Amino acid sequence: MTLSVDLFFSFRSPFSYLALPKTLKLVKEYDLAVSLRPVYPLAVRVPGFFKKANPQFARYVVLDSRRVAEHEGIAFRFPRPDPIVQDMTTLDVAAEQPYIHRLTRLGALAQLEGRSLAFTDAIARVLWDGSVAGWNEGDHLARAAEAAGFDLAAMDAAVSSDPDRYEQVIAENEKHHAASGHWGVPTFVFENEPFFGQDRIDLLVWRMQSKGLTKR
């Protein structure tokens, strides 16, 4: 019996990106379906989040994500440009967010097609693996999407023609994310039980094995 798990993911979260290799390995090794459900990052979901957080929060995320990547052998560099338009001196988040809105809506479209994990993996690498600067320029995203079986121009056109449809998908994802009992990303949810962080995947597997998870 194929088990299923939801993965709530943000394109700005380094730990969401770092969870992808293990997630893909799980799907390859186990009779498991992962529904990746994109949500907006805390900077957008919770206005003023970074101003309320301990000043050490962001510094620790940078430190920890870099060493996790080094430990796991994952190519890693913070995106250039940042998917969130934010003044990192004042921590003010701009009202207009062209990058994260585009990325998350595209992820929502891929979710509706049932292929969000493949799409997100392809796109997230362009942002995070350090292979390109200016991920938002040229054909970087288009080539990555094409390699995963997507037509980025067609996706952009679909989103532009009906952005509210994809915003509704994202809002529904955020509703279910909150209902799971956690607010951070990445959060895996299996049978209404949340597992927060890329370092909880082994615990997730343990739980699913107790519910009949089998290898392919």
Mean pLDDT for 48-71 is 92
In CATH, 3-210 is 3.40.30.10: yes
* b/e burial code for range 147-156 (CB count within 10 A of at least 16 → b): ebebebeebb
Mean pLDDT for 91-109 is 95
Residue 23 makes CB contacts below 8 A (sequence gap 6+) with 7, 34, 117, 201
Number of residues that make up the chain: 216
pLDDT digits (tens, 9 = 90+) for 136-191: 999 999 999 999 999 999 999 999 999 999 999 999 999 999 999 999 999 999 99
- Residue 101 confidence (pLDDT) above 90: yes
**pTM for the complete prediction?**
0.96
CA distance 111 to 46: 23
Mean pLDDT for 89-109 is 94
CA distance 27 to 159: 28
- Where do the structural domains in the chain lie, given as residue ranges? 3-210
Contact assessment for residue 7 and residue 38, using Cβ atoms and an 8 Å cutoff: no
Bridge partners, 6 (sequence order): 35, 189
